[in-house]
Structure 1
C-alpha cells in the first residue's frame, strides 16, 4: 500500500504543469553542502522576510494603533492568535511549493478548467490590487508627510518602484531579501524606540495576551478584532511563499533534501513572522500607551503622524522626531510591500492564465492596476488623506472574498497524499486547517456585512 501511494505521488510529480514559478529566480540561491545548522539556516533564510512584510503593511497600522487607543491592551490576544494562524498557513504554503515544485496558482490551475481558472485569477488579482492599493496609499502619504509632496504626485511616483524592483532583480534575489530585511529592521527599531518613550506598563502588556470575553461582547472591539484578523491573514502571501521558497538550490528528487528544505523553510517563516508579530504588538502598544482615550480622533495615518508631536495628546514626550520616525517607518513599510505585491502579481498571472509577456511589462501592469483606482479617487473626490485612506477600508472587502479562494485549495492540496506524498499534513494539522478555513470564511463574511452596514 505504501509503495502504491509513493508511486501515485511520483506519477503526479512527473505529470505536473510545465514551467517554473518565477523562472528568473527559481533555483538560483545556492545551499552549502555538509554545513552546520546555523550556516544552512542563514542560506535558507530570506523568503520568510518577504512573506512577513504582508503582515505589517500600512493596511494594518491604523487598525492596530486605533485598537490600542480605544481599548488599551485588550486586543493583543487577537494579534497573538492571528500570528499563530499565519504561521500554520505559511508553513503549508511553503511545503506545497517545495514538495510539488508548483506555486499555489499553478496547483489550482492544474486542478481546474480554463474558464474557472480565469475567474479565480480575476478574484486573486483583485485581492492583490487591493493589497497594492494599501501600499501605494502608505507610500504616498509618507512622501506627503515627509516632503509635502501632493498625494496625486506621490501616487505617480510609486510607479517608479516597479523599475527599482527590476534593477534589484538584476543584482540577484538574495539582494532583494537583504534589502527587505533591512527595511523590516528599520520599522522594528523605530517602533521599539517610540514604545519605550511611551513607557507602557509591562504587566498590562502581558495581561493583554490573555483572551478576554470583552472582545466578543463589545461590538466596537469585535469589529476592530475582525479588522486585525482580516488585515493579518493575507491571501496573496500564500501564493508568494509557495513560489519564492523554490529559489533555493535543493535536489528536487532527493527525499532527504526535501525534508531539510521544508524544515528550514518552516523555521525561517516562523522566525520572521515572530518579528511581524512583535511589530504589530508594538503598534497596538503604541496606541495604548500614547493615545488611550483619543482613539476616535485617530482615523488616518496623517492624524497619527500629527498626534505624535501634539503635547495635548501624548504629553511631554511629544516631538517632531517621533512624527518623522513614524513617517519613515511608513515609507519603509510601503516600499517593502511594493516589492512583494509586484512579485505576487507575476506569480498569479503566470500560474492561472499562463500569460507570457516581458518581465517589466508584467510588473508595470500589476502596479498600474493599483495606481489607477487611487488616481481616479483623488481626481473625483479631492487630493486629501481622508479620501484616499477611506479606500483602505474597502480594500479589505476584496481580501475577505479572496481568502477562502486561497485557503480552501491550500488545505485540500497539502492534505492530499497524491500531491504531497509523505509530506502531507498530519491529522492534527488537517483538522486545524479545515477549522480555520471555515471560521475565517465566516468572520470575513461578517466583516464584509459590517463594513457595508
Structure 2
C-alpha cells in the first residue's frame, strides 16, 4: 500500500493536481506490467535498475537537503546525542515510523534470499567466506543509503517546517508561483502537520517549483523501487515458507489488487491527510513486524547444525540481540503511549487480543533464538572438553 500511496501522490504533484489521487492509485496498475517487462531481462539487470532508482532518490532528496541548508552542527549533535524534548504522540509516531522505514522487514528477507541467486561454489569454504564478505558490504551500503535518504528528508522537514503555522504556510504559497496550492492549508495558527504531499508543496512554495517537481520525482522513484523489493520479497517468502511457486504476473497482480482497493477507497471517500496518515501508520506497522523477520534469521544463523563454521560468533549475536531488544522496547513503549488515545473502550479489547497474540509469537521466537544460542554454546563447550581430554591423554 505504501508504494501505491507514494506513487499516487507523486503523479498528483507532477501533474499539478490534474490527476486526482484516486486516478494516481489506478495508474499504479501500470507498474505491474512495467515491472514484468523489466523482469524478462534477468534479476541482475533488474537489480541494476533498482540501483538506478535508489540513485535518483539519493540525488533528488539530497538536492532538497542542499537547498534547505539545515544547521549542520545541530544535525551532528542530534545524530550523536538523540533527544526530543517536549515530544508528544505525533513525534513518537514519526520516530517509530522511521525505524520501520529504514529497517524494513521484507527487505531483510530479500537481502537474505538474494544469496540464492548468486553462482558460488558452495563446496569451497574460501569462496563462501569471500561471498559473505561481499554480501556484508552490499547490505551495509544499501542500509547506509537508506539511512542517508531518510536523514535528508527528516532534516529538510525539520529545517523548513518546524513550528510553522498553517497560516504562515498559506501566506507563503499564496505569494508564490504555486498559489493554487495555498488552499490545502487552513488559515489558523495551529502548527502545520507536514506529510509527503504538503512537504513537497511547501518546498515548492519556498524554494521554487523546481524543488516541488524534484521532490515528486524522488517519490516516484521510491514507489517504483518499493514495488520491486516488495514483489521479490513476497516471492522468496512464499517459496520458502509456504512452498508456493506462482508466476510473478499472478503474484504482482494479486498483491497490487489487494493494495489498490483499500487505497482507492481512502482516496475517494477521505482526504489527502488520511492517505498520508495511513502511510505513517504503515511505517509503524513495519517496525512492529521487525521481530518476525530478525529473530528467525538470528536463530537460524546461530545454529551450527545449519551454518556449520559460518554460524554467528558471540560478538555478532550480542550486537544483533541488543538491537533487537531495543526495537522491541521501542515498539512496546509506542503501544503503551498510544493506548490512551484510542477513541472507544471497545478498541482496548481488540488491542489486548492482538497484543496477546503478538507477544506470544514474539516470546516463542525469542525462546527458539535462545535455544539456538544455547546450542552454539553447548557445541563450543563440547569442543573445549574434547580438547582438554586430548591434552590430558
TM-score (norm 2): 0.74
Check 1:205–1:429 CA distance in 2 against 1; reply closer, same or farther (3 A cut): same
Indicate which of 190, 203, 206 corresponds to 1:308: 203
CA contact (8 A) 1:195 1:289 kept: no
Alignment of 1:225 onto 2:95:
yes
Equivalent residue, structure 1, for 2:334: 447
d(CA) in 2 for partners of 1:197, 1:358: 44
Equivalent residue, structure 2, for 1:194: 64
Q: Kindly state the Cα deviation for residue 223 of structure 1 after the two structures are TM-superposed.
A: 4.7
Alignment of 1:416 onto 2:303:
yes
d(CA) in 1 for partners of 2:280, 2:154: 18
Other structure's SS at 1:309 match: helix
Alignment of 1:180 onto 2:50:
yes
Check 1:216–1:250 CA distance in 2 against 1; reply closer, same or farther (3 A cut): farther
Equivalent residue, structure 1, for 2:107: 237
Check 1:216–1:351 CA distance in 2 against 1; reply closer, same or farther (3 A cut): farther
Other structure's SS at 1:308 match: helix
CA contact (8 A) 1:342 1:367 kept: no
* TM alignment of 1:126-275, pairs within 5 A: 133-147=1-15, 148-212=18-82, 214-215=83-84, 218-219=87-88, 221-275=91-145
CA contact (8 A) 2:102 2:150 kept: no
d(CA) in 2 for partners of 1:324, 1:418: 53
Which one has a bigger Cα radius of gyration? 2
Gaps of 5+ in 1: 1-132
Q: Kindly state the Cα deviation for residue 343 of structure 1 after the two structures are TM-superposed.
A: 1.2
d(CA) in 2 for partners of 1:297, 1:260: 51
Check 1:225–1:240 CA distance in 2 against 1; reply closer, same or farther (3 A cut): same
Check 1:285–1:410 CA distance in 2 against 1; reply closer, same or farther (3 A cut): same
Q: Kindly state the Cα deviation for residue 448 of structure 1 after the two structures are TM-superposed.
A: 3.5
* Number of equivalences: 312
d(CA) in 1 for partners of 2:141, 2:9: 30
Equivalent residue, structure 2, for 1:58: none
Other structure's SS at 2:40 match: helix
Equivalent residue, structure 1, for 2:227: 338
Check 1:400–1:186 CA distance in 2 against 1; reply closer, same or farther (3 A cut): closer
Gaps of 5+ in 2: 166-190, 342-393
Alignment of 1:351 onto 2:220:
no
Structure 1 stretches of at least 4 aligned residues deviating more than 6 Å after TM superposition: none
d(CA) in 2 for partners of 1:217, 1:433: 31
Check 1:401–1:224 CA distance in 2 against 1; reply closer, same or farther (3 A cut): closer
Other structure's SS at 1:297 match: coil
Q: Kindly state the Cα deviation for residue 173 of structure 1 after the two structures are TM-superposed.
A: 1.4
CA contact (8 A) 2:97 2:284 kept: no
CA contact (8 A) 1:227 1:447 kept: no
Moved more, 423-432 or 133-142: 423-432
Q: Kindly state the Cα deviation for residue 451 of structure 1 after the two structures are TM-superposed.
A: 4.5
Q: Kindly state the Cα deviation for residue 159 of structure 1 after the two structures are TM-superposed.
A: 1.9
CA contact (8 A) 2:6 2:219 kept: yes
CA RMSD of aligned residues (A): 2.1
| Greater relative contact order (Cα < 8 A, sep 6+) | 1
Q: Kindly state the Cα deviation for residue 222 of structure 1 after the two structures are TM-superposed.
A: 4.6
Equivalent residue, structure 1, for 2:278: 391
Q: Kindly state the Cα deviation for residue 286 of structure 1 after the two structures are TM-superposed.
A: 1.2
Moved more, 219-228 or 157-166: 219-228
TM-score (norm 1): 0.64
Indicate which of 302, 319, 322 corresponds to 2:211: 322
